[in-house]
């Protein structure tokens, strides 16, 4: 019998719904919220309101594009957390009432696990290339930077994580200092292509084990600019591309060094990357480069599955559905927690 899952994602500022049938993607609709751009960051209250406006049309569109009637759904999977509580409440409440009205099971999904399992989304008429267990996944987003040992679809161990800022935050905060729009990661990526990555050097942290730290880099970047602007007020404008390229190289070097160590220590040669920052072209190239040099088999997600999307929620829901792992309607969302 077919297993048809509706996935719902509303953890931050993207309202998304997706339909997956037997592991194959039928639709993935994302409504992004431009309302936050002028504030330089996501405003939680505005995000919740936008989710409320978007959720019904987005789900409707996902079902329509999939050519699936709601009566054909086997279960509703929703992002339970981590994320912004007000945003999560919209998706969670909708998923609960929709599942109850259809009298079908409800599946709660951890947003971070979903980013990792995005590698298992199968697209129609595309030969699947998927990692085999166990593999390592570098999960890098605006809220998280983790190295995860993935032993099974829902058996994951975080072996390293940031002790302060996430890699995406480092991109965004440094971009803000340079006067770039929010979120700054994609702008740094674009400008870095024109710059010299060896033009400037920034401090790299010395943290034990596989953990990361990015707050020192952000401070060192800020102080460096402050000192240079005293000498030349146009320093940022005149050196923007080189600054972006050097900063991006530093962040990538920090990320890859720990990942390389983890792969070596754990004798794992299947290595994946996931999360919003995995859209970064420098990081994607670094993966290809490491793959060739270290004989890793690398897995880089399609751009559409790097940022928040409901397809990754639906695929996680599919695996949990097959394992009979359902949840009760009383289950509340959570804002923080890893796995």
Using CB under 6 A, pick the residue from 308, 315, 317, 319 that binds ligand KG4.
308
The answer to the question of residue 280 lying near ligand KG4 (CB under 6 A) is yes
Minimal distance in Å, beta carbon 277 to ligand KG4? 4
Question: In whole angstroms, what is the distance from residue 49 CA to residue 94 CA?
Answer: 14
The answer to the question of residue 183 lying near ligand KG4 (CB under 6 A) is yes
Q: For residue 212, give the 3-state DSSP assignment.
A: strand
DSSP 32: E
Question: In whole angstroms, what is the distance from residue 132 CA to residue 272 CA?
Answer: 11
Judged by CB under 6 A, which stretch of 38-46, 99-107, 272-280, 315-323 contacts ligand KG4? 272-280
Per-residue x/- marks for ligand KG4, 6-25, CB under 6 A?
A: ------x-------------
Using CB under 6 A, pick the residue from 99, 189, 202, 327 that binds ligand KG4.
189
Kindly tell me which of 75 and 178 has the beta carbon lying closer to ligand KG4: 178
How many CB atoms are located within 10 Å of the residue 185 CB? 26
| Beta pairing partners, 150 | 135, 156
Kindly tell me which of 81 and 276 has the beta carbon lying closer to ligand KG4: 276
The answer to the question of residue 84 lying near ligand KG4 (CB under 6 A) is no
Nearest residue (beta carbon) to ligand KG4: 276
Q: In 3-state terms, the chain is what percent helix, strand and coil (to 5)?
A: 45, 20, 30
Kindly tell me which of 64 and 257 has the beta carbon lying closer to ligand KG4: 257
How many CB atoms are located within 10 Å of the residue 15 CB? 30
Strand 4-9, strand 14-21: pairing: antiparallel
φ/ψ (deg, to 5) at 3 = -115, 115
Q: With CB under 6 A, what is the number of residues at the site for ligand KG4?
A: 19
The answer to the question of residue 165 lying near ligand KG4 (CB under 6 A) is no
Minimal distance in Å, beta carbon 127 to ligand KG4? 26
| Burial label, 162 (beta-carbon count in 10 A; 0-12, 13-18, 19+) | buried
Kindly tell me which of 184 and 317 has the beta carbon lying closer to ligand KG4: 184
Judged by CB under 6 A, which stretch of 59-67, 89-97, 164-172, 225-233 contacts ligand KG4? 164-172
The answer to the question of residue 141 lying near ligand KG4 (CB under 6 A) is yes
Kindly tell me which of 25 and 30 has the beta carbon lying closer to ligand KG4: 30
Kindly tell me which of 74 and 280 has the beta carbon lying closer to ligand KG4: 280
Using CB under 6 A, pick the residue from 172, 243, 287, 316 that binds ligand KG4.
172
332 Rama class: left (phi>0) / alpha (psi -120 to 50) / beta: beta
Kindly tell me which of 182 and 290 has the beta carbon lying closer to ligand KG4: 182
Length of the chain: 339
Contact at 8 Å (CB) between 307 and 123?
no
H helix runs in the chain, sequence order: 44-66, 85-102, 111-117, 167-177, 185-192, 215-231, 235-266, 281-294, 311-322
Judged by CB under 6 A, which stretch of 73-81, 167-175, 210-218, 257-265 contacts ligand KG4? 167-175
- Cα 199 to Cα 110, 194, 217, 248, distances in angstroms: 40, 12, 16, 12
Binding site for ligand KG4 (CB under 6 A): 12, 141-143, 168, 171-172, 183-186, 189, 275-277, 279-280, 307-308
């Amino acid at each position: 019998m077919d297993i048809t899952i509706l996935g719902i994602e509303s953890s931050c500022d993207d309202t998304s719904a997706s339909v997956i049938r037997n592991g194959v993607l039928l639709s993935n609709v994302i409504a992004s919220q431009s309302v936050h751009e002028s504030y330089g960051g996501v405003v939680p209250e505005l995000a919740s309101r936008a989710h409320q406006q978007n959720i019904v049309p987005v789900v409707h569109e996902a079902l329509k594009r999939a050519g699936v009637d709601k009566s054909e759904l086997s279960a509703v999977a929703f992002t339970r957390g981590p994320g912004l509580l007000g945003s999560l409440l919209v998706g969670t409440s909708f998923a609960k009432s929709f599942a109850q009205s259809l009298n079908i099971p409800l599946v709660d999904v951890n947003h971070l696990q979903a980013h990792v399992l995005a590698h298992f989304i199968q697209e129609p008429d595309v030969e699947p290339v998927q990692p085999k267990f166990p593999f390592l996944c570098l999960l890098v987003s605006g809220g998280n930077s983790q190295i995860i040992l993935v032993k099974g679809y829902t058996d994951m161990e975080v072996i390293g994580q940031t002790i302060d800022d996430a890699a995406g935050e480092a991109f965004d905060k440094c971009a803000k200092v340079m006067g770039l729009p929010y979120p700054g990661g994609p702008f740094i990526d674009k400008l870095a292509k024109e710059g010299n990555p060896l033009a400037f050097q920034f401090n790299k942290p010395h943290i034990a084990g596989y953990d990361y730290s990015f707050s020192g880099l952000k401070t060192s970047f800020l102080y460096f600019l402050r000192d240079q602007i005293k000498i030349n007020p146009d320093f940022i404008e005149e050196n923007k591309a080189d600054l972006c390229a050097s900063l991006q190289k530093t962040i990538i070097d920090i990320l890859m060094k720990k990942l390389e160590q983890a792969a070596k220590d754990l004798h794992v040669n299947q290595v994946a990357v996931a999360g919003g920052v995995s859209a970064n072209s420098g990081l994607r190239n670094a993966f290809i480069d490491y793959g060739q040099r270290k004989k890793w088999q690398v897995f880089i997600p399609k751009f559409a599955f790097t940022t928040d999307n409901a397809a990754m929620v639906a695929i996680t829901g599919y695996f949990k559905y097959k394992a009979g792992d359902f949840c009760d309607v009383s289950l509340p969302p959570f804002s923080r927690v890893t796995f």
